[in-house]
């Protein structure tokens, strides 16, 4: 990606020998926008980031894994500031143009000695080619790195968007879920970038769930270097950019869910025919969050009773006798009637797939919504019962 350099190293913040400190550097000041968690208990880097992003300019993002720097009081804020200053000093840029992110265990102070040696090291490693290293450095319980690349043209001028994200627990839709960074070489104003990012977030990261818990550190950030000649200057060019940004964010969101803690299957619930937009959202969210639905998917069981029970408690207007329910293209319930053992056998076969689309038509109106979610396995419990030990 033109105009950006990346690095990722093991600085010793994590107990194991995995990478835990990453840096994105923009050669010129980038137009920047960011969305943060809606949790009221927020981490120090988020408190700082909310302030800093107001100027709409960014030159560097330092992100560490292994420690969330959350619930760390004034010391946490001071530490986050100190990290920004180290990066600014090493790169000889303004401190106001450095953002920091943290992810990992809540409630422990940042090991500042590791940053003192780590920041100069990570700056040393900066290169256009080190995207993978950065993507690895922000992972926690993720099992794979998450990078999406797209490019298109505006007025015959090529531009690109690259997205890098990490999951994979405490994932629930509430503004920007988890850590995700978008780098693009498009020419765009800070205001437009912010609007496009909010719109893309609404359709992607705000429509996923792994375990229903909202992180204290969620950050979705976009930086536009303007190093391509493609410009956002009218509705047409904006639409091209928005579509591509939507695509990048949706793909990243999908990767986050697919790699959700303990996940073995990726599922999408599509609600159709809701009376209101809110009803469609509520119905989709209740199903995506239901532990009983998620364990049934893990068990490859087309347990439509649990799906209808979840929609029944969702708060959405529901008339049981009107419900249609499909697994992929196979109808299992039509107008509230179970379609028999043959249909059940076919859906049971579909449940063996690694990606499943469940469509529930309330048949009460025209509104739709959808959620991506994963199944729920014993491994989720294992991962989270042992996380701190």
Binding site as annotated, residues for substrate? 140, 166, 177, 261, 384, 389
Collapsing DSSP to helix, strand or coil, 285 comes out as helix
Q: Which of 2, 12, 71, 112 binds a copy of itself (CB under 8 A)?
A: 71
Residue 318 near a copy of itself by CB under 8 A: yes
| Binding pattern for the stretch 203-222 against a copy of itself, x by CB under 8 A and - elsewhere | --------xxxxxx------
- Looking at residues 248 to 267 of the shown chain, list those that interact with a copy of itself (rule: CB under 8 A): none
Residue 41 makes CB contacts below 8 A (sequence gap 6+) with 70, 71, 216
DSSP string, 4-64: EEEEEE--S-SSSSS--EEEEEEEEEEEEEEEEB--SS--HHHHHHHHHGGG-EEEEEEEE
Tokens describing residue 211: 């375990």
Min CB(296)–a copy of itself separation in Å: 7
* CA–CA dist 41, 236 (Å, integer): 40
Q: Would residue 177 show up in a list of annotated catalytic residues for this protein? A: yes
Instruction: Summarize the annotated binding site as residue ranges.
Output: 140, 166, 177, 261, 384, 389
Residue 4 near a copy of itself by CB under 8 A: no
Contact present, 335 and 324 (Cβ < 8 Å): yes
Q: Which of 172, 254, 265, 346 binds a copy of itself (CB under 8 A)?
A: 172
Query: Is the dihedral angle over the CA atoms 48, 53, 55, 61 positive or is it negative?
Result: positive
Min CB(292)–a copy of itself separation in Å: 5
Residue 381 near a copy of itself by CB under 8 A: yes
Residue 380 near a copy of itself by CB under 8 A: yes
Residue 388 makes CB contacts below 8 A (sequence gap 6+) with 105
Residue 106 near a copy of itself by CB under 8 A: yes
The footprint of a copy of itself on this chain (CB under 8 A) covers a number of residues equal to: 61
* CA–CA dist 361, 363 (Å, integer): 5
Q: The tokens 């968007």 sit on which residue?
A: 161
Q: Which stretch binds a copy of itself (CB under 8 A): 23-31, 121-129, 149-157, 376-384?
A: 376-384
Contact present, 227 and 1 (Cβ < 8 Å): no
Residue 362, Cβ density class (10 Å: 0-12 exposed, 13-18 middle, ≥19 buried): buried
From the candidates 103, 141, 177, 219, which is the catalytic residue?
Answer: 177
Among 183, 220, 257, residue whose Cα is nearest residue 37: 220
Residue 342 near a copy of itself by CB under 8 A: no
Residue 51 near a copy of itself by CB under 8 A: no
Q: Measure Cα distances from 39 to 69, 219, 306 in Å.
A: 15, 11, 29
Q: Which one, 251 or 261, has the nearer CB to a copy of itself?
A: 261
Q: Which one, 245 or 372, has the nearer CB to a copy of itself?
A: 372
Q: Which of 9, 60, 170, 356 binds a copy of itself (CB under 8 A)?
A: 170
Q: Which of 73, 329, 340, 352 binds a copy of itself (CB under 8 A)?
A: 73
Min CB(267)–a copy of itself separation in Å: 14
CB atoms near residue 129 (< 10 Å): 8
Min CB(122)–a copy of itself separation in Å: 26
Min CB(198)–a copy of itself separation in Å: 20
Q: Measure Cα distances from 84 to 62, 64, 66, 109, 178 in Å.
A: 8, 12, 18, 16, 20
Residues of this chain that interact with a copy of itself (CB under 8 A) are 38-42, 68, 70-71, 73, 105-107, 169-170, 172, 174, 211-216, 289-292, 295-296, 298-299, 301, 303-306, 308-313, 317-318, 320-321, 333, 336-338, 376-378, 380-382, 384-389
What is the set of active-site residues?
177
């Amino acid at each position: 990606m033109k105009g950006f350099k990346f690095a990722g190293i093991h600085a010793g913040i994590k107990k194991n020998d995995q990478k835990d400190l990453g840096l994105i550097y923009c050669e010129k000041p980038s137009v920047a926008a960011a969305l943060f968690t809606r949790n009221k208990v927020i981490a120090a880097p988020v408190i700082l980031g909310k302030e800093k992003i107001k100027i709409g300019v960014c030159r560097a993002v330092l992100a560490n894994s292994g420690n969330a720097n959350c619930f760390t009081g004034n010391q946490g804020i001071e530490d986050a500031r100190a990290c920004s200053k180290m990066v600014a000093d090493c790169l000889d840029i303004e401190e106001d143009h450095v953002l920091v992110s943290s992810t990992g265990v809540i409630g422990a102070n940042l090991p500042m000695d590791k940053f003192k040696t780590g920041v100069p090291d990570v700056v040393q490693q900066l290169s256009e080619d080190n995207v993978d290293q950065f993507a690895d450095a922000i992972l926690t319980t993720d099992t794979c790195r998450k990078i999406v690349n797209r490019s298109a043209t505006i007025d015959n001028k090529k531009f690109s968007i690259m997205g890098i994200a990490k999951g994979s627990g405490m994932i629930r839709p509430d503004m920007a879920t988890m850590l995700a960074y978008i780098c693009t070489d498009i020419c765009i104003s800070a205001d437009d970038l912010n609007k496009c990012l909010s719109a893309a977030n609404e359709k992607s990261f705000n429509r996923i769930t792994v375990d229903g818990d909202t992180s204290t550190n969620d950050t979705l950030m976009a930086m536009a270097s303007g190093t391509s000649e493609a410009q956002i200057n009218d509705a047409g060019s904006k639409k091209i950019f928005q579509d591509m940004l939507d695509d990048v964010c949706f793909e990243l969101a999908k990767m986050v869910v697919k790699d959700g803690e303990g996940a073995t299957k990726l599922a999408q619930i599509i609600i159709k025919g809701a009376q209101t937009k809110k009803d469609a959202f509520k119905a989709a969210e209740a199903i995506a969050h239901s532990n009983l639905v998620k364990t049934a998917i893990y068990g490859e069981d087309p347990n439509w009773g649990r799906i209808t029970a979840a929609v029944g408690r969702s708060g959405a207007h529901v008339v049981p006798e009107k419900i249609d329910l499909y697994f992929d293209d196979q109808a299992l319930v039509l107008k509230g009637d179970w379609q028999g053992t043959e249909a059940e056998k076919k859906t049971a076969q579909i449940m063996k797939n690694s990606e499943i689309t469940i469509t529930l038509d309330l048949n009460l109106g025209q509104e739709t919504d959808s959620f991506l979610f994963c199944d729920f396995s014993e491994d989720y419990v294992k991962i989270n019962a042992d996380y701190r030990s």
